[in-house]
A and B are shown apart, each in its own frame.
Chain A
Amino acid sequence: DAKTTQPDSMESTEGETVHLPCSHATISGNEYIYWYRQVPLQGPEYVTHGLQQNTTNSMAFLAIASDRKSSTLILPHVSLRDAAVYHCILRAHQGGSAKLIFGEGTKLTVSS
């Protein structure tokens, strides 16, 4: 799987919109961009995923660069509950290995 690069940590304040960047310069054409988040003492939780078009759901907006070499997870109006480690992962869908590797992710701190 192609490698992703994320900042180790980011800080924010409640109510702000947070932009979490992810670089994936060697992404393959069949690889989707997945985001998971993990709060302490719990397993990771799926946030969103996309291939080429920007996507949005109740949790976040995923902006994907036109060349697909980077993406940004946008969290609108963050609350204390959004404090977590956010992981950006690349995965091929059909035909790829099931092996799924997590990096260190970005630790998002939210202050009141």
Chain B
Amino acid sequence: EAAVTQSPRNKVAVTGGKVTLSCNQTNNHNNMYWYRQDTGHGLRLIHYSYGAGSTEKGDIPDGYKASRPSQENFSLILELATPSQTSVYFCASGDARGDSGNTLYFGEGSRLIVV
């Protein structure tokens, strides 16, 4: 089964500080995603990527940057963190090849609190 690992799992940041959330996948998937999920709400897509060097805006990209330096790694960067970015962030990977289609594999989540 695909393995997606996120770090850090928990983080407290100060307003205005820089936060980097990292994601690593070990199954050579082309596509990677960053979502956020707030209490009582569904997943909202922030950024996604088709492969190394590619980043695309999702539905709520404002205040976030993404970086895909390699097939395995996809980072989410908050240059100037704000309290409204307090949330749980999920990374996922997937591949459109073959019948597995767009089956996504998710990480365990990174819980971010901005104070």
Q: Which of B50, B99, B108 contacts A43 (CB 8 A)?
A: B108
Q: Which of B42, B56, B92, B107 contacts A99 (CB 8 A)?
A: B56
Q: In the complex, how many angstroms separate the beta carbon of B15 from the nearest chain A beta carbon? A: 25
Given contacts A44-B106, A103-B42, A104-B41, contact A98 B31 (CB under 8 A): yes
> What is the CA–CA distance of A46 and B1 in the complex, to the nearest angstrom?
11
Q: In the complex, how many angstroms separate the beta carbon of B33 from the nearest chain A beta carbon? A: 7
Asked if residues B56 and A46 are in contact (CB atoms below 8 Å), the reply is no
Asked if residues A93 and B42 are in contact (CB atoms below 8 Å), the reply is no
Over the window 74-115 of chain B, the binary record of Cβ atoms lying under 8 Å from chain A Cβ atoms (1 yes, 0 no) is 000000000000000010101010010111111111000000
Asked if residues B104 and A46 are in contact (CB atoms below 8 Å), the reply is yes
Question: CB of B3 within 8 A of chain A?
Answer: no
Asked if residues A101 and B105 are in contact (CB atoms below 8 Å), the reply is no
Given contacts A98-B50, A100-B45, contact A44 B104 (CB under 8 A): yes
Contacts across chains A and B counted by CB atoms under 8 Å = 70
> What is the CA–CA distance of A46 and B4 in the complex, to the nearest angstrom?
14
Asked if residues A49 and B45 are in contact (CB atoms below 8 Å), the reply is no
> What is the CA–CA distance of A108 and B104 in the complex, to the nearest angstrom?
21
Asked if residues A102 and B96 are in contact (CB atoms below 8 Å), the reply is no
> What is the CA–CA distance of A46 and B103 in the complex, to the nearest angstrom?
7
Interface centre among B30, B42, B59, B102 (most CB of A within 10 A): B102
Chain B: residues with CB nearer than 8 A to chain A? 4, 30-31, 33, 35, 41-45, 48-50, 56, 58-59, 90, 92, 94, 96, 99, 101-109
CB<8 Å pairs between A and B, sample of 21:
A32-B101, A41-B109, A42-B106, A42-B108, A43-B92, A43-B108, A44-B43, A44-B104, A46-B105, A49-B103, A85-B42, A93-B99, A96-B102, A98-B30, A98-B48, A99-B58, A100-B45, A100-B94, A100-B104, A102-B35, A102-B44
